[in-house]
Every structure is written in C-alpha cells, then in structure tokens.
Amino acid sequence: MSSDSKKIHILDSSLRDGAQGEGISFSVQDKIHVVKALDELGVTYIEAGNPGSNPKDLEFFQEIKKVSLENAEVVAFGSTRRKGITCAEDVQIQSLLSAQTDTVVIFGKTWDFQVTEILKASLEENIAMIKDTVSYLREQGKTVIFDAEHFFDGWNANKEYALQCLKAAVDGGARVLSLCDTKGGSLPLDIYETTKMVFQHFGSQVEIGIHAHNDSGLAVAISLMAVSGGATHVQGTLLGFGERTGNANLSAIIPSLELKMGYSCLPEGKLQDLTPISKTVAEIANINVTPGMPYIGSSAFAHKAGMHIDAVTKNPEAYEHITPESVGNERIFLMSEVAGRSTIIERIRRFNPGVTKSDAVVGEIIEKIKSLEHSGYQFEGAEGSFELLVRKSLGKYKPFFKLHYYKSIGEKPPLGEALCSFAQLKIEVDGQIEITAGEGDGPVHALDTALRKALERFYPAVAQIRLIDYKVRVLDSKSTTASKVRVLIESSDGLQSWSTVGVSSDILEASWLALVDSFEYKLIKDIERKFKSYL
C-alpha cells in the first residue's frame, strides 16, 4: 500500500513492550525523555503505553501533549473490546480515546487456540470483536494499526481463520496489519513465506508489518525476512529489551535495512545518531549497552590481533562490514599481548598524527606497557588508563591534583546492619589544600565519596561521574594474602563511558589508582570538548 516501496515505517515499543522486560521501569519523566530521544532519531511511531492499564500511562499521555515533536508520532496501545459488551461500554477502549493520540495500536487474537482456550470466546465473536473495535476507533477519527497477536502460530494451526481475522481488521478500516510472532518461536524462512502470502492477500489495501520476539534468538533475522516478503512496517525496541528474552532489536534492524538492503527508515543523516541515542535510551532505562551489540556496541569495531589492526589501518574494509561513523560509533584498537606495533602507533596518532614506527617514543611506550603488564596491568578493557599512559609518555599530561595522603577506616556494624566505612584524604590543587572525609558502604565507596567531595570545589564536572561497574581480580592466588589485585572500574557521565585500571598488593591502593585515572580521564575529555585540545 505504501507509495514508496523502499520506505520502512519504524515503530519503537521500548516504552510499552520494552517496559515488560525484567528490571525495566520508567517514570513519567523517563518516558518523556525517551520520546524526545526517539523523535530526534526519527522513528515513525513511538508506542508509549497502554492508558487503560495503569494511572502512570494515563498521566504520561496527558503530559506528552505538551511536548512538540519533529519526526515521530506517539501512539497509544490497547486491545480489542471485551466479549459481550460494546466498544462504547468498554472502559479500556474509552481510555484509549482519552489518550488523544491520532493513531492507536490494537491487538487481537488470530490463533483459534488462543480464542477458545484463553479468551473463552467463540471464533465468530472474536472476529466481531476485531472488526467492531477497529471500525469504532475509525469512526472516532483514529488511524488504526492492528497487531495480529500469535499470528504465525495461528497461521500454522488454521490458515483460513487467521486470514479471516486479518480481513476483519481490514474491513474495519485498519491501516496496518502487524503480524506478531508473539512466542518468538518462528524461523526466518517460514516468516518470509507467510508474510509474502499475506502481502498477496492484503498488500494492495493496507501496509503489512512485523512484530518479532527474540525467544529463539532470531528476531532481527525474522524482521528482515518479513521486509523481504513485503512488510513495510517494522516494530521492535531500540536496544532489544522486552518481555522474556526481548523484542526485535531496532539498533540492528535499522542499519541493516538502510545500509545493506537499500531501504529508508530514518530521515536523511539520522542514522549517524544511532549509537549516541541508543546509549541515551540505555542510560534512562538503567541498562548497559553490551560491548558486543552489533553496530552500536563498544566492541562492534574493536580490533585486537596485530595483523588485523595492521590491515585495518591500511584499508578498514579488510575487517569491517561498514564504516563505524555511519552509525555514530568509532573504531578502537585493543591493547593486549596479541596486539602489535601498529596498535600502539594508531593510538599515539590520536595525539601526535606524525608519529612513525621508527620514532623512539613508540619503543618507549611499548616497553612501558610490557613492564606494566608484567606487574599485572591489563589495558584491554581499560582504554581510559591506556590513553593517560600515552599522554604521559608524550608529555601531553598535567596532573589535576596532588595527593598528600588518604586513609580509610572500616567499622564492623551490629548484627544485621550494613557495613560502614570512612575515608579521609588531603589533596592540593594549584597550591590550595583541601582536606575532606567521606562515608560509604565499604572502603572504596568511602574513598570515592571523599575524592569527589574534595575535587568538586575545583572541578564541578566530577559530580557527573557515576561508577557503573567495579571488578577485582586476584592475580596470583598462590601467594594468598600477599597477592596482587587488579581493579577495573567502569565509569559514565551520562554521555560516554570509560574504564580504568589499577594494580597493587593493596586493594585500596589499586582502587585509588583506578579512581584517579577515571576522574582525570573525564576532566581531560571535558577540556577537549570545550577547547578542542588539551595541552
């Protein structure tokens, strides 16, 4: 039905289906922030909740009307009317209308088993419920997207009935038939064949869509195959989070459609915002973008082996399927025992573009890395500390403060109460002395609190730093209490994340080294963003 067969309409359901994922909970303000981010990205629809299910969603739909959007349309979600009553009598349908969105998404049963065993309705009544609901909402001036729940299971069980359900939605006036793989158990080729047949039946009258779940790990593949079969409407969540094992991951689907299949999903130029906006949504949802996530993960364009790195520096096409910049990501070279001289040079060139393999500083840095790794350091996964090491070697580093001392005291609490620790430190910034103390759940937390408090007077930006991961590894278990430990800290300021490392036979000192690197890395990056250079 689409006038442009190469245009794909994207519906993001992070705020509705995504919110059903374990550990996911959005406040009204969270939802508004996500809507703004998705609108900036340029998706077509944002399915933001079910106003008939809870007061929070109802409040959201009232508040979002005050927000001006440029690209996306916020839509409300609900079900067909209940059996035995009219749409005018159905409270849930009336709540949909109260949301005052131009478009609504309605789900209805299309699997005869679900109708008779779960809904406890006759097959005829279910068809009437679908048509009545869609036509009623059309009469109220709404555009209707019909989510055909359990469609592929219904198709396999009773093709004729599944098609009758779709016809009821079309006859009622639906604009889109979204075919749902609700249990996530279908295979890509089956999805392609079925979508193609549905398109042959209804493609001249309505848009065909796909709504896939990831229970078999195939939601992205299923969505792409549905598009190949004629679908021009794709539903999912930006980071793939959702009920059970999640929904189709739009951060993988969108670039695959645009860069590999020749479709248009976002406004021109917006694909380059995919990685930063995905990270923004992850921050709001309080989840991490896993390093190995396709296209947008920090490891998506990471290279470790020396031969691979050497090849990529000559021509990135050697080991990269797309340019990282096309999706707003970046290429990184990991430091490890299998990394070669090319890795070091590429990292140094960020600060000194003219450096060559024969320059003495390259050898000095390599020897320094070898020495530190021999003592327990590992710079793979600690890019912040590695960058500071290079800066120091190149003379492009100036400490932000001088430590005079720190000390930490832990108190064993009464039975049943949480551990309480205290830290005190004395630092100096440009000749000014600051002595502060901090309290925390443990000695490292207390030290972090004290350092923040001391530095905020001079560098307010440290208040933005949040520790999101803390890992300790004993390096030589045979030495028992005398063992060295390696501490890896991951930090974030809401815009970017970075990792730093510290090694010592004392866990507090190792933590201190990683903390200092984390804070200094953040301050250097802020200076570079503001003044385009540091030293």
Dihedral sign from CA coordinates of 172, 175, 177, 182: negative
Residues 392 and 17: their CA atoms lie apart, in Å, by: 48
Which residues face 420 on adjacent strands?
411
Taking each helix axis from N to C end, the angle separating 341-348 and 383-394, rounded to the nearest 10 degrees, works out to: 70
Residues 50 and 38: their CA atoms lie apart, in Å, by: 18
The pTM of the full predicted model, rounded to 2 decimals, is: 0.75
Closest CA to 21 of 307, 342, 245: 245
Which residues face 157 on adjacent strands?
none
Which residues face 234 on adjacent strands?
10, 210
Contacts of 431 (CB under 8 A, 6+ apart): none
How does pLDDT run across 263-299, given as a tens digit for each residue? Answer: 999 999 999 999 999 999 998 998 888 989 999 998 8
How does pLDDT run across 149-161, given as a tens digit for each residue? Answer: 999 999 999 999 9
Residues of the chain with CATH 3.20.20.70: 9-285
Identify the residue whose tokens are 């996500």.
34
How does pLDDT run across 391-445, given as a tens digit for each residue? Answer: 998 888 999 999 999 998 876 666 566 678 899 999 999 999 999 999 988 888 8
Phi, psi of 91 (to 5 degrees): -60, -40
Q: For domain 302-391, is the CATH number 3.40.50.970?
A: no
Structure-token pair, residue 295 = 């296209």
Residues of the chain with CATH 4.10.430.20: 302-391
Structure-token pair, residue 389 = 């090491």
- The DSSP string of 162-222 is HHHHHHHHHHHT-SEEEEEETTS---HHHHHHHHHHHHHHHTTTSEEEEEEB-TTS-HHHH
How does pLDDT run across 332-364, given as a tens digit for each residue? Answer: 877 665 555 667 777 788 777 888 878 888 888
Residues of the chain with CATH 3.30.160: 401-454
Q: Does the pLDDT at position 2 exceed 50?
A: no
Q: Which CATH number describes the domain made up of 9-285?
A: 3.20.20.70
Q: Which CATH number describes the domain made up of 401-454?
A: 3.30.160
CB 343 within 8 A of CB 374: no
Residues 286 and 123: their CA atoms lie apart, in Å, by: 43
